[in-house]
Amino acid sequence: MTDIIVGVVALAVVLLFFLYQNLKTKRYKLPPGPTALPVIGNLHQLQKLNPQRFFYGWARKYGPILSYKIGSRTMVVISSAELTKELLKMQDVNFTDRPQHRSHEVISYGRRDMVLSHYTPYYREIRKMAMNHLFSPTRVATFKHVREEEVTRMMVKINKAAEKSEAVDVSELMMTLGNSVVCRQAFGKKYNEDGEEMKRFIKIVYGIQNVLGKIYFSDIFPFTGYVLDDLTGLTAYMNECFERQDTYLQEIIDETLDPNRVKPETESMIDLLMDIYKDQPLASDFTIENVKAVILDIITGGTETAAAGVVWGMTYLMKYPKVMKKAQAEVREYMRERGLTFVTEDDIKNLPYFRALVKETLRIEPVIPLLIPRSCIQDTKIAGYDIPAGTTVNVNVWAVSRDEKEWGHDADEFRPERFLEKDVDFKGTDYEFIPFGSGRRMCPGMRLGAAMLEVPYANLLLNFDFKLANGMKSEDINMDVMTGFAMHKSQHHMLVPQKVWK
């Protein structure tokens, strides 16, 4: 009998909750979108595979601003350059917050990092510190030799494969490169690429990416508390990944505190953060947990983004051989004339077609295609529709890159020349092209990210011609993305390199 009464009361609470939510949203004139079911909203319609293309499809049906529901939460997607400008320029301050998400809270030590932090005075302080110190042009330049050494190592590996006419896994090579560069920049650690420590680091990174991308019942059905998360194993998995990450970061911090430690030749990012911990120059407390949280941003931001970009670039180049030839010719001629054998960061500015190719790569496959979701702070209007406080907003950069008003009818074509015809850059003020985002939450690692992408990309073009592995034809290349923080090509890109210089 007691069970029945508890059941009836629970059902009544759920119904009242949804009735209240329904009445609340009825007051608003929300952007158009698909009809939502009671309780789950549009959850059943969402696709995990290629979400950027899925939302692009919805945008074609419902328009450049659309809304849908996940459980009781209102979600909005923006898909045109004009409305992106409205959101990230005109109303930027009101959209600087990040939405509620259980694992984001846990993994980031209660949002003490930058990526997931709410828009608080603490956030503004660390963001300023990061712009002035962590990611300043001087700091980015101090790690130039690290990036170049690691790319050289990668070229040696490809060379060996070329000598044996063996295929290389470009996705794997680029991920390894990203991990090695990040470990050296962030911690001053040079791991053996196939060694146990690197394997441990990779497992931690995968765990973080995985946990951050999951949907938690407690976020979409808050009335269930953590019960469903616990029952489905989500809580246990999240805690396990967090423990793994925390143990690793604590070990790194202990090492930096060891008075007998041999300091790396270039001051690593964690040393700089530990100085802030020791000197406490910020108005907000900067504890060891804050150090861990910020270093986590450097790991998540740095390991995958540039790698995914180069893999997409090499994928499109295999589909567009004329573009490949033109880019190779420019890089090779420039280097041959100067008798050089390694493209450095300084050479890139003298390679206009290659620079256009980098932009076109980031336009056609932006590696964070839905940006990192923003949360609306106060009720507002966009394009005549109400956006209630607490709404989660995504900008579908992938769709904005295909906005015909800005890019014409051939936006799906891979054509770097468009960037020679149109003076557009990714610095966040040309709203039709924002692979690094825009406004107050724009990527602070843009300069570093661009360097990590351009140097391996240019050296691949300089040193090798490529064929698709296993007799694959270019039209058969799978273009699906793997959902995560940065969206990789889901199937690894296998190519057979041929040496250009004998």
Q: Which residues bind ligand HEM (CB under 6 A)?
A: 114-115, 127, 297-298, 301-302, 305-306, 309, 367-368, 371-372, 435-438, 441-445, 448-449, 452-453
- Cβ proximity to ligand HEM: between 234 and 376 the closer is 376
Residue 16 identity (one-letter amino acid): L
- Cβ proximity to ligand HEM: between 234 and 400 the closer is 400
DSSP-derived pairing of the beta strands 464-468 and 494-499 = antiparallel
Closest distance of CB 389 from ligand HEM, Å: 19
Closest by Cα among 268, 446, 456 to 344: 456
DSSP summary character for residue 375: E
Alpha-carbon distance of 320 to 463, in angstroms, equals: 18
First to last CA, the chain: 85
Closest distance of CB 116 from ligand HEM, Å: 8
Q: What angle do CA 141, 145, 147 make, to 5 degrees?
A: 90
Tell me if 100 sits within 8 A of 219, measured CB to CB. Answer: yes
Closest by Cα among 217, 235, 234, 232 to 39: 217
Closest by Cα among 448, 430, 447 to 439: 430
Report the residue number whose CB is nearest to ligand HEM: 437
Q: What angle do CA 259, 260, 265 make, to 5 degrees?
A: 100
Tell me if 107 sits within 8 A of 296, measured CB to CB. Answer: yes
Alpha-carbon distance of 498 to 168, in angstroms, equals: 11
Closest distance of CB 32 from ligand HEM, Å: 24
- Cβ proximity to ligand HEM: between 297 and 432 the closer is 297
Listed in sequence order, the DSSP H helices in 188-226 are 196-213, 217-220
- Cβ proximity to ligand HEM: between 105 and 465 the closer is 105
Closest distance of CB 113 from ligand HEM, Å: 7
- Cβ proximity to ligand HEM: between 335 and 367 the closer is 367
Tell me if 269 sits within 8 A of 295, measured CB to CB. Answer: yes
Alpha-carbon distance of 374 to 95, in angstroms, equals: 6
- Cβ proximity to ligand HEM: between 50 and 361 the closer is 361
- Cβ proximity to ligand HEM: between 66 and 362 the closer is 362
Closest distance of CB 114 from ligand HEM, Å: 4
Any residues with CB less than 8 A from the CB of 280 and at least 6 apart, and which?
286
Closest by Cα among 302, 270, 296 to 133: 270
Structure tokens at 48: 């995990």
Do the annotations mark residue 183 as ligand-binding? no
Closest distance of CB 277 from ligand HEM, Å: 18
- Cβ proximity to ligand HEM: between 161 and 458 the closer is 458
Residues tagged in the binding site annotation: 443
Residues tagged in the binding site annotation for heme: 443
